[in-house]
Structure 1
Amino acid sequence: MVYSQIDKITLDTDKFHRVHNNVYRIAQNHATLNGYRYLSSGKVRAMAGRKSSIGPTGEAVRANIIRIREGQNLSYAEVTRRLTEAGRAIPELGLRNIERGQRKVDVDELVALAQVLGVAPITLLMPYTEQSTDSVHLTGSRGVTSARLWEWLTAETPLGGHPETSAELWEWLMRCRPLWQIESLLSDLRHENPSDYGDD
């Protein structure tokens, strides 16, 4: 629209400047009006106050960090100091935001947090429950029992339960566990049942 108006201007310099200034003023007012509408719509306020969305597993991590840190009477400053020494620094404000659910924890941070809090990574991932039959939620799946989730996180059984055949279970175990652990498991089975492997 602006350029179409300018194209119609004659070579009269004064007239050109008058029209140019009018067009510029109209465009400036239009931009100001749109900016006001955007600000008054509440979108900017919503974006400024929006929390980082976390799922069920992120929520479990957040709650476990609070529980374990407070259980050891560790201050934010102390946890930050330990994380800095571990090479994965998170400032005190970052820790507070994690516990408030306003900041996500990445994989490297989760491992570092587990180390400085004196627990295993699985401890932070596992929702804290009192009974093995308690229902828990995790990202990407419907609710399962606490025991079933623990067995899956420790690569004991698939999340959906025990496979129908031993061959399917072994296939799953070989995908989940390191080779040395599979060999150790096979060695234990041979020792417990030598006749099944022709060792007697």
Structure 2
Amino acid sequence: METERVRGNPAGITNTHVAQNIRTARQAIGMDLRTMSEGLKAAGRKLSTSGISKLEAGDRRVDVDDLTVIAYLLRTTPAALLTPPDEQTTLTGVPEGYEPEEIDRWMRGELVLTEEGLFNYWQQEWVICTDRIHYLETTLAGMTAPDPDDPERPRANPKTIAAYAERLQTARAREQAIRERGVQIDPTGRVFNAKDYTENYADTHQPGQTTARSTLS
């Protein structure tokens, strides 16, 4: 029993994600194993090329000190290395059921994975999205209005109109995705209440903090 306690817990799925992300990030900037090993050594974290290979294969655990050094060397962030790749959401100790976006924002410190935290996040995203749609719709209406000097053509050129129309389409798709998730978070529809968002903004958006309401009632 003593030996098992010294060895600690086995590496979990989060370590697997980190290992994959490190390899991807290293290859993305064209850094070879030797250069990475030298960079780690210069930072006081000795790790041979074979050690890095084992780390990237998930056969060697990544401790938090190595994580920060590696993130710096690979021109990325600790959060990016910790975040599950390829739209995955499985992390050690985190229940299933969260959206990839929620896991990503949690890793970035932009929300807390609680009922209140998710509610606050999606309500804010709803307000931002609907404001953007209103802006794009208004702008497009002005662009497509007849030119006073030439009623046969719109005020803006077709390429500009097409670009804004594509942005509007993307925003509407985002609106639909938020609506679907918002109903799951709160079936009463409060996620889509802009007035409620405004009234509680001061309590849920404090500089330097990730906050959540004390209650949803």
CA contact (8 A) 2:20 2:57 kept: no
Q: Does 1:55 align with 2:9?
A: no
1:101: how far off? 1.3
Counterpart CA distance in 2 for 1:162 and 1:63 is 32
The equivalences for 1:34-183 within 5 A come to 53-129=10-86, 134-143=87-96, 144-163=98-117, 170=204, 181-182=208-209
CA contact (8 A) 2:79 2:107 kept: yes
CA contact (8 A) 2:71 2:77 kept: yes
Give the direction of change, closer, same or farther, for the CA distance of 1:69–1:135 in structure 2 (3 Å limit). Answer: closer
Query: Which AA in structure 2 matches 1:82?
Result: G
Max radius of gyration: which structure? Answer: 1
1:84: how far off? 1.1
* TM-align CA RMSD: 2.9
**DSSP-derived class of the 1:77 partner:** helix
Instruction: Render the CA deviation track for 1:20-51: whole Å, top value 9, x for unaligned.
Output: xxxxxxxxxxxxxxxxxxxxxxxxxxxxxxxx
CA contact (8 A) 1:80 1:90 kept: yes
For structure 1, the residue ranges without an aligned partner over 5 or more in a row are 1-51, 175-179, 186-200
CA contact (8 A) 1:53 1:102 kept: no
Kindly, what percent of the aligned residue pairs are identical? 26
1:83: how far off? 0.9
The equivalences for 1:179-198 within 5 A come to 181-182=208-209
Query: Which AA in structure 1 matches 2:68?
Result: V
CA contact (8 A) 1:56 1:137 kept: yes
Counterpart CA distance in 1 for 2:58 and 2:10 is 8
**DSSP-derived class of the 2:208 partner:** helix
Give the direction of change, closer, same or farther, for the CA distance of 1:65–1:135 in structure 2 (3 Å limit). Answer: closer
Counterpart CA distance in 2 for 1:63 and 1:160 is 28
Counterpart CA distance in 2 for 1:135 and 1:101 is 17
1:162: how far off? 3.3
Give the direction of change, closer, same or farther, for the CA distance of 1:83–1:142 in structure 2 (3 Å limit). Answer: same
CA contact (8 A) 1:62 1:99 kept: yes
For structure 2, the residue ranges without an aligned partner over 5 or more in a row are 1-8, 121-199, 211-217
